[in-house]
Structure 1
Amino acid sequence: MNTAAAIATPASVRRAPDSFAIALMVLLCAIWGLQQVAIKSTNGALGPMFQAGLRSTIAAVLVYGWARLRGTPLFLRDGTFGAGLLAGVLFAGEFICIFAGLTLTSASRMAVFLYTAPCFTALGLHAFVAGERMRRMQWYGVAVAFAGIALAFADGFARAPAPGASALAGVLGDALGVLGGVMWAATTVVVRATSLSQASASKTLFYQLVVSAVILLVLAFALGEPQRAHLTPLAMVSLGYQAIAVAFVSYLTWFWLLTRYMASRLSVFSFLTPLFGVGFGVALLGESFSSRFVLASTLVLAGIVLVNAPARRADAK
């Protein structure tokens, strides 16, 4: 993967996803879908903010090492500091919502609610980034996929709360999932609409990891989470997966894709992640799965097909 060459690609030639990008996005969605299970399985051993902060710290060190190995400068003055700081704050906000939300709701439901992000991303890019305007058929696809997400929401709200939990807590967890999706979308828009669009994928990710690590660890110590932490073998494996596979490898790959392909098209593939998230939640955590969600998933997949349908002359607006 040639990051330097990717960054040299001008925004005007970013293109629709090809077969390579599609396969890579499916793999990324599977990695992200498993993330919710990994976080929830570790919340009992490490506090949510402490877990998130350690994850960002480990990944930041890995990104720094990768950049040094590749000869990618991370500290040159290139006018990206303000945008990088904003992206980092939004990134931290996203994971505050995810990690805190997973103490209140299931991994399956979090996966569904978090991945409203592509809808917010498409709206933000449509408003702020030239060349990312959606065609009519693509908007139809987003609408169909959003209907699937809405149906999944309805299914989630209809479920009985977990033993010992209140219905209000579950609703709050779901709301944090949606807010996390908004934060994720806002981060993507900042990356594409500011000077970060011309920065390397390593530097873009480094900003987010360093800023989020500081914010999350300060919050964790303020809440006294490190004093209550206890590392178990499962927690160590989960933390390693989150830091290396998710926060380092998958995010670096995601930002590289953003330099080559249209972000609005890539983001819609994220609708696949709830399917993986629910599947992993059912298989690994024994969470419930309803027939209503099968219908919701079908709508989501139909939306993805519509969004990525070849452009027709009559639909080129």
Structure 2
Amino acid sequence: MTQRKSLDLLAFTAMIIFCLIMGAQQTAMKDIAFDLSPTLQVAIRSSLAACMIWCIMFAKNESFNWRPGALKFALLAGSFMGVEFLLLGKALLYTSAAHSVVFLYSAPIFTALLLHFKVKEERLQLVQWLGILSAFVGLALAFLGGSSLTASASGDVWVGDALAIAAALVWSLSTVTIRGSVLAHISVKQTLFFQLLACSVVLFVYAILMEPLVVHVHSSLIWNMVFQTVVVSFAAFLIWFWLLNHYVAAQISGLSFITPMFGVMFGVVLLGEPLEMNFLVGAALVLCGLVCINRKVTKLSEATSTANC
């Protein structure tokens, strides 16, 4: 087994690039939300990314590991992933990309709480409980900040914020499914392949049955979808697992909390979204809480990022 290295300049740079990519995805989705529904956006990119992962496994002659229950739990985690992005897509129709990324990345809070009661080895310590308290206070402040936001035509920003929090909760269920099942012991590529496959099926079915299939095709939409598919759902995945294979996971995942900061930055700079002081204070408290919680849940970094790629 290859000895994993400590964090160096190359790993730090790669992790910053990864966080930039993941922080940009909500902005990219919202930018074309009224030309192509977010549900269809994620359905298309997930199916294409699954094909790319299968091609990599085929090229490397990697076979699927059919441990008992692996397929069942992978499809369950993928279904959770589909519901997560369905909720996130709906959230982006009401709230800003900045709000959605902060609320979505509160998922480790719920993951830590669920694992505290499910896995004996994952019991929370005092510093993690303080982190959860800080994060929940921050969520409350950030949520109340939505009342003055003008990013939504309907003004129902609180609906979008609530949907983004619900998406974070579902993301945590996906993570716990991976962490507490046979999926924790099989190839991450295989897990992600079935996650993306199940996610795309859930979202395609919902879009066909529940949404008007209206698409306004233009060059910006095409390039946006290329970015989401090749960069967000595929290249980011390759960067992350290259880092996991070569560097200490705890040190790498410790940098992942900066993703919401990039998400907020992209929303403000690229979409011109306004920010309220109580949202900024709340987001800061959430980030502080995530740093504290991260000390306990760094071993979950591989499964957590897989669910969101």
With the length of structure 2 as denominator, give the TM-score of the two structures: 0.82
Where does residue 123 of structure 1 map in the other structure?
Answer: 113
Q: Which amino acid aligns with 1:217?
A: F
- The CA distance in 1 between the partners of 2:208 and 2:294, in whole Å, is 45
Q: Deviations over 1:194-244 (max 9, x none)?
A: 000011110010011111111211222224544x21322111121122112
1:19 is aligned to 2:7: yes
% identical equivalent positions: 36
Among candidates 47, 59, 72, match of residue 57 of structure 1: 47
**Candidates 48, 67, 73, aligned match of 1:78:** 67
Find the residue that maps to 1:231 and give its secondary structure: coil
In 2: Cα distance, 1:128 partner to 1:46 partner: 39
Partner residue, 1:315:
none
**Paired position in structure 2 for 1:280:** 266
Letter in structure 1 aligned against 2:171: W
Aligned to 2:218: 232
State yes or no: 1:193 paired with 2:180. Answer: yes
Describe the shift of the 1:239–1:163 C-alpha distance in structure 2 as closer, same or farther (beyond 3 A).
closer
Mark the CA change 1:40 to 1:77 in structure 2 (over 3 Å): closer, same or farther: same
Task: Give the match for residue 178 of structure 1.
Answer: 165
Alpha-carbon distance in structure 2 between the residues aligned to 1:51 and 1:309: 34
Matches of 1:281 and 1:46, distance apart in 2: 19
**Residues 1-317 of structure 1 mapped to structure 2, 5 A cutoff:** 19=7, 26-74=16-64, 76-79=65-68, 80-156=70-146, 158-162=147-151, 164-167=153-156, 170-223=157-210, 225-226=212-213, 228-251=214-237, 261=249, 266=253, 271-307=257-293
Q: Determine if contact 1:145/1:271 at 8 Å carries over to the other structure.
A: no
Q: Deviations over 1:260-290 (max 9, x none)?
A: 7469x94x86543322111111100000023
**Secondary structure of 1:19's aligned partner:** coil
Deviation at residue 130 of structure 1 after TM alignment = 4.7
- CA drift of 1:141 comes to 2.6
- Is residue 151–residue 273 contact of structure 2 (8 Å, CA) maintained in 1? no
Query: When the two structures are superposed, what TM-score results if normalisation uses the length of structure 1?
Result: 0.80
The 1:224–1:144 alpha-carbon spacing in structure 2 relative to 1, beyond 3 Å, is: closer
Aligned partners of 2:121, 2:255: CA distance in 1, in Å? Answer: 19
User: Which sits farther off after the overlay, 26-35 or 245-254?
Assistant: 245-254
Asked if the contact 2:149/2:274 (under 8 Å) is kept, the reply is no
Task: Report the residue type matching 1:239 in the other structure.
Answer: M
Aligned to 2:303: none
Aligned equivalents of 1:165 and 1:309: distance in 2?
40
Q: Distance in 2 between matches of 1:155 and 1:251?
A: 33
8 Å Cα contact 1:132/1:262 also seen in 2: no
Instruction: Tell me: CA distance 1:302–1:212, structure 2 relative to 1, closer, same or farther (3 Å).
Output: closer
Q: Deviations for 1:4-32, whole angstroms, at most 9, x for unmatched residues?
A: x69xx9xxxxx9x9636776555433222
Structure 1 residues 188 and 24: alpha-carbon distance in aligned structure 2, compared to 1, 3 A threshold: farther
**1:39-67 Cα deviation digits (max 9, x unpaired):** 01111221222222101111111111121
| 1:278 partner amino acid | V
Offset, 1:86: 0.6
In structure 2, what is the Cα distance between the partners aligned to 1:150 and 1:23? Answer: 33
One-letter amino acid of the counterpart of residue 154, structure 2: A
C-alpha RMSD of the superposition = 3.1
Q: How many positions carry a matched residue from both structures?
A: 291
- Look up the equivalent residue of 1:81 and give its one-letter code: L
* Gaps in structure 1 of 5+ consecutive residues: 10-14, 311-317
Provide the C-alpha distance between the structure 2 equivalents of 1:100 and 1:207, rounded to a whole number of angstroms: 24
> Does the CA-based 8 Å contact 1:107-1:278 persist in structure 2?
yes
Q: Is the 8 A contact 2:94 2:155 kept in 1?
A: no
Amino acid at match of 2:195: Q
